[in-house]
Structure 1
Amino acid sequence: MDDPEYLSLIFVFILLVLSAYFSGSETAFFSINKFQFNRMKEGRKKDSAVFKVLERPRRLLVTIVLGNLFVNILSTVAVTSALVKRFGPVKGNTLASGLMMFLLLLFGEISPKIIAINTVESFTRLSAPIMKFFIFLFTPISTILLFIVNTILKIFGLTEYSTSKNISVEDLKSIIDMGSEEGIIHIDETKMLQSVFRFSDTDVQEIMTPRIDMVCLDINMSIEGLKHIILENRYSRMPVYDENIDNIIGILCVKDIASILNNLQDKQELINKLRKPYFVPENKEAYPMLKFMQKHHTHIAIVVDEYGGVEGLLTMEDIIEELVGEIHDESDEVELPYEFIDQNTIKAEAKMNITEVNDVLDLEIEENPHFNTIAGFIMHRLGKIPEVGEFVDTSDLNVKVLSMDGNRIEKVLIHRKENA
């Protein structure tokens, strides 16, 4: 191989490196989100060059496109010329087309973009000083092109483009995790922020009081029976139904009858105090439900299934607790739905939420639209109503049924395996 061929190889290699540089720079610069952009804007010395480049995103984009176009054309011409000299026009052109397609795809596009997307900030810091040179170099051409582009954009009424992307949920989660690891964000604050993210994907079915645990009043009961349930349970609001819990006729706000409760003789007085019940579908998301309750000035709603049957009851407190954790007043006895037997085993109520089980035992029980409690998990796995002593065994955990109340699972023993 003579000297001109060596020089051609070196020339093509340099052009491929530049192609990789422009492709990687495009991915890295235009992957910067608003959080990163604003942080660079604050003036840290190592980020000042990046910020300067990003100040004019259209000029940056035109520079990258021009640079990539020129180096790709030059490299293709150089390789084609060399191969045509060696193999003739037909074979040389064919070989050049195949070879350059492979080289440009692998080394000029795919590889640099994968590297750039995984090292956005470091890539842009290294790239920015060189990019400033190319921006200056292509200024005459880019100015003309930008004038034409901006004119077209004005015709279509498009506003100035911003290079910085909105911060994604995953970006925010990463920021919170980093802040927690570095001690900037307290553990309690971290848990609350994580609850906010979970809240956005939470349906009312996941946080409601299930039908079987609802305390309701049957309007057909005796006055003494009604008084007993009201005084024994001490809830501030209670659903009232007529014969069947699926036929809820109103919500009793206990404070509305507090002054007459002891001397209550006529049920009509209680009926007159009932407030309008609000019914919501079980798949309604928690955040819109919170807005709904605020709009209608209600603290309680009845959750129904697709057939209109009552599934459960949702209170404002249920929604708030999903965000900030359990709320207790001075008279509440705080009872956890589980107790530790050892560091890997808990005895728990079967109605314990899957998310809480995962948090307590550091597990990753699969999420499923068909259940959100450990009882639902057991029945889904077994495909039937279990008996006492039956268990579910997976690679991560073992769940054993300890007690039943009719067809309802009451208590379970959950053991996390050592390899989990």
Structure 2
Amino acid sequence: MSGSDAALGAVTGAGPAIWFELAVIAALLLVSAFLAAAETAFHLCSKAGLKALSDRAEPNASLALSLAEERDPLGAVLLILGGLVKILAVIFATALFVERYGRAGPVISALVMTLVILALVELVPRGLARHAPEAVARRLAPAVGPLYRTFGPAVSLARGLLDRAFSLRGTSAAATDASYSAQDEIAGALALGRSAGTLEKEDRDRLMGALDLGDRWVEEIMLHRSKIEMVDADLPANEILDLVLASAHSRLPLYRGERENIVGVLHVKDLLRAVNRRVHNGGTLADVDVMAVAKLPYFIPETGTLDEQLREFLKRRRHFALVVDEYGSLRGLLTLEDIIEEIVGEIADEYDVEQNPTLRPNISGEYLVDGAMTIRDLNRALDWHLPDEEANTVAGLVIHMAQSIPMPGQVFSFEGFRFEVLGRRENRITRLRIKPIPAPPR
């Protein structure tokens, strides 16, 4: 056989081998892309959305939901398998390039496979899954299910050994999983919807207000005792009636001697009914016994959460509570309406005086803010992120940061904002001017 015939035989013999290796590499890359898409889809999919699809009997929705319930171990299985498949693809590619290009083969393989894996295996499949995670999860569920049933036990065993190792140190690997709750998932979805422009700010605030009730304390939103309208129970009935009719509130606490000594709660309807009965029976207004129609006061601790107190209000059919500290001293007042306003925003009727007018910046971008305004209300109104761990009100925040009670005219800058004190009454800051400080150019 001549030299040319031998060379031709070598080429024709090598051709099928090269195509076979390329086919194997392509198949491994397709499997890796499938695993990447599945891992992203099941990580991002909404269980609530899959449950709704399952209730409508959508194809594979129930299977996808059952797999989503095992999100963490399933994600571990898909990540491990995806890593193994990518390693196999790189090994086959390196062998192919070494065969074709010799010593330069590993370098060429690293460059080519890095680009191919990033573009075709990671970016494209994960991007498609991120765009519609529930739809992708439903489509891939029939193939993902057998993989999870096959390799899941091994991963569960490894997680058990890891948890055992953590338990020897007094902690648990599983404890970290509980930190991401359903509430966190909903809050993240709301934040994403707001940033994407698909959810109105008012809708997000209402939903977040309902979610946050368990993390908010009574003392954060109660009306301070210095602002509570009270009636002296020892006043004549006609004077009490005048005070009740002049008030914008339907319920008023009654006290005797000193304001701390609350002896009852008077409802305007009960008082008017008593007056009407007395007048119709030929009596006079002076004959009305106000304490006879007053209800017993309902006291609550300042340390309870709004979620707990809302349940108590509903269970006891109460709308009005007086807040006390651990020593029994009066701290403030809380109503059912106050808690509802944390969800739906300010509720006003024709008798309410607007206490927190709409915040609007002047031409310099400054906001005039009442010192008693809560930090939470300010953050909700303007989408700011001022800290509220150390103080409930804007004035309290400034005092905490300044470590003193500032005088009018003093200016402070912290948390990316400029605070100027405009008014002070005794030891209270009554008015501030606040302006966001622009971030320095990069």
Q: TM-score range by the shorter chain?
A: 0.5 to 0.7
| One-letter amino acid matched to 1:34 | K
Q: What residue in structure 2 maps to residue 238 of structure 1? A: 252
| One-letter amino acid matched to 1:327 | I
**Does residue 219 of structure 1 match 2:229?**
no
| Distance in structure 2 (CA, Å) of the matches to 1:362 and 1:272 | 49
Are 1:400 and 1:412, in contact at CA under 8 Å, matched by a contact in 2? yes
- Distance apart, 1:43 and its partner CA: 9.4
Query: Residue 415 of structure 1: SS of its match in structure 2?
Result: strand
| Distance in structure 2 (CA, Å) of the matches to 1:400 and 1:279 | 38
TM-score by length of 2: 0.62
Query: Residue 211 of structure 2: SS of its match in structure 1?
Result: helix
Alignment of 1:64-79 (within 5 A): 72=84
- Distance apart, 1:202 and its partner CA: 2.8
Q: What residue in structure 2 maps to residue 54 of structure 1? A: 64
Question: Which of the numbers 387, 391, 401 marks the counterpart of 2:407?
Answer: 387
**Does residue 181 of structure 1 match 2:197?**
yes
| Distance in structure 1 (CA, Å) of the matches to 2:82 and 2:362 | 67
Unaligned runs of 5+ in 2: 1-13, 95-116, 157-180
1:49-89 residue CA offsets vs partner (Å, 9 max, x unmatched): 8748637749x989x9599679959979x98xx9xxxxxxx
Q: What residue in structure 1 maps to residue 9 of structure 2? A: none
- Distance apart, 1:330 and its partner CA: 3.0
Q: Identity across aligned pairs (percent)?
A: 25
- Distance apart, 1:351 and its partner CA: 0.8
**Does residue 364 of structure 1 match 2:378?**
no
Alignment of 1:121-160 (within 5 A): none
User: Greater helix percent: which structure?
Assistant: 2
| One-letter amino acid matched to 1:236 | S
Relative contact order (C-alpha < 8 Å, sep 6+): which is higher?
A: 1
Query: Residue 290 of structure 1: SS of its match in structure 2?
Result: helix
Backbone CA RMSD of aligned residues: 5.2
Are 1:19 and 1:68, in contact at CA under 8 Å, matched by a contact in 2? no
For these two proteins, the number of residue pairs brought into alignment is 363
| Distance in structure 2 (CA, Å) of the matches to 1:124 and 1:331 | 49
**Does residue 309 of structure 1 match 2:329?**
yes
| One-letter amino acid matched to 1:32 | C
| Distance in structure 2 (CA, Å) of the matches to 1:210 and 1:251 | 17
Q: What residue in structure 2 maps to residue 329 of structure 1? A: 349
TM-score by length of 1: 0.65
Query: Residue 244 of structure 1: SS of its match in structure 2?
Result: coil
Q: Which moved more, 1:219-228 or 1:124-133?
A: 124-133
- Distance apart, 1:312 and its partner CA: 0.9
Unaligned runs of 5+ in 1: 83-106, 150-164
- Distance apart, 1:404 and its partner CA: 2.5
Are 2:35 and 2:78, in contact at CA under 8 Å, matched by a contact in 1? no
Are 1:299 and 1:315, in contact at CA under 8 Å, matched by a contact in 2? yes
Q: What residue in structure 2 maps to residue 409 of structure 1? A: 429
In structure 2, do the counterparts of structure 1 residues 406 and 118 end up closer, same or farther at CA, with 3 Å as the change threshold? farther
Are 1:200 and 1:287, in contact at CA under 8 Å, matched by a contact in 2? yes
Q: What residue in structure 2 maps to residue 205 of structure 1? A: 219
In structure 2, do the counterparts of structure 1 residues 412 and 57 end up closer, same or farther at CA, with 3 Å as the change threshold? closer
| Distance in structure 2 (CA, Å) of the matches to 1:52 and 1:241 | 61
| Distance in structure 2 (CA, Å) of the matches to 1:172 and 1:295 | 32
